[in-house]
Amino acid sequence: MKRIANSDRTLSSDKQKRHCHSYYTSAGAASAAGSARSRRASLLRECSQAISPIVAPQITIVATSSSPNGTQALAAVTALAMAVNGGGTVAVPVTAPRAFEEIAARYGGKIVRTRATLAALMQTAARSRDMLLLGDGAGNYIFPGFYPIVVGSFAIVKIMELLTLHGERLSQVIHGLPRYYLSQARVPCRWEHKGKVMRILNQQYVDRKLEQVDGIKVDLGEEWVLILPDPDGPFFHIIAEGSSEEQARVLTEKYAGLVTGLQ
């Protein structure tokens, strides 16, 4: 995976630097000619095509004073995109914290929740090319206006553009994000028991379920717990958002014990 350094916002190879320099200087010329938007889109495509063979789809974002985790990085890019565009729609997985809705409220934007798979994000991107951004919190970013799949090289260039237009360092954007506390655990479960566990949980929490995008998401007021069967392995994922780090951990342990006891 490649890194973006916020201090000088450079890419990690000389070839990337040359192409991205060409993008900014050409975009400036296009602005003078009165066709900045179309020229910018064309140059961004050329930049992505030129460096895509040497950049992995996933990217890691590094700020000057910290290294945000994947969810924080996605929240920061969401805030940047909405700030620059005056709102807009961003899609994130059902596993992401409610901080994303808080960010959208700041800028008059909207958050759409998807299933917790990269395939679900790409399917949503293909159907909704007018979305600003889709991301999974694991370094995969989709800008569907360009292409409805993960293209790491384009994501690097687009994030650089957003930082330039917004006029703030990435560390400043991260510092202004809403606070949230997530905890997660993995509970082993035999394949033949998964269906039984899901049926019991659906019956038990029928009146407290949030949007059923993926798994069973239990509404606890300002907190929530997601019980998510893994599609490929014999286990459940338990993800909780609490009012504090300790409370999130307590919720995770409680519902992990519940799933274990239902097998």
Domains along the sequence of the chain with CATH: 2-175 (3.40.120.10), 182-262 (3.30.310.50)
Residue type, 263: Q
In this predicted structure, what is the pLDDT of residue 83? 96
| Element holding 55 (H helix, E strand) | none
pLDDT per residue as tens digits for the range 149-180: 998 889 999 999 999 999 988 889 999 999 99
Coil, strand, or helix at residue 138? coil
Q: Between the CA of residue 199 and those of 60, 204, 231, 259, what are the distances in Å? A: 38, 9, 16, 12
How many Å apart are CA 65 and CA 67, to the nearest integer?
A: 7
Q: Give per-residue pLDDT as tens, 19-40.
A: 444 444 444 544 444 555 555 5
pLDDT above 70 covers a percentage of the chain that reads 76
Q: What is the pLDDT of residue 64?
A: 63
Band of pLDDT at residue 184, cut at 50, 70 and 90 = very high
Measured between alpha carbons, how far is 60 from 77 in angstroms, rounded to an integer?
A: 12
Least confident residue range of 42-56, 97-111, 247-261 = 42-56
- Looking at per-residue confidence, does 33 or 244 come out higher? 244
Length of the chain: 263
pTM listed for this prediction: 0.75
Beta bridge mates, 90: 111, 133
H helix runs in 167-234, sequence order: 170-175, 191-204
Residue 73 predicted with pLDDT over 50: yes
- Backbone phi and psi for residue 82, each to the nearest 5 degrees, phi listed first: -70, -35
What is the per-residue pLDDT across 103-154, written as a single tens digit (0 to 9) for each? 999 999 999 999 999 999 999 999 999 999 999 999 999 999 988 999 888 9
Per-residue confidence (pLDDT) for residue 60, from 0 to 100:
78
Give me 216's structure tokens: 């069973």
Average pLDDT over residues 199-224: 86
* Least confident among 42-56, 99-113, 188-202: 42-56
Residue 66 or 110, more confident: 110
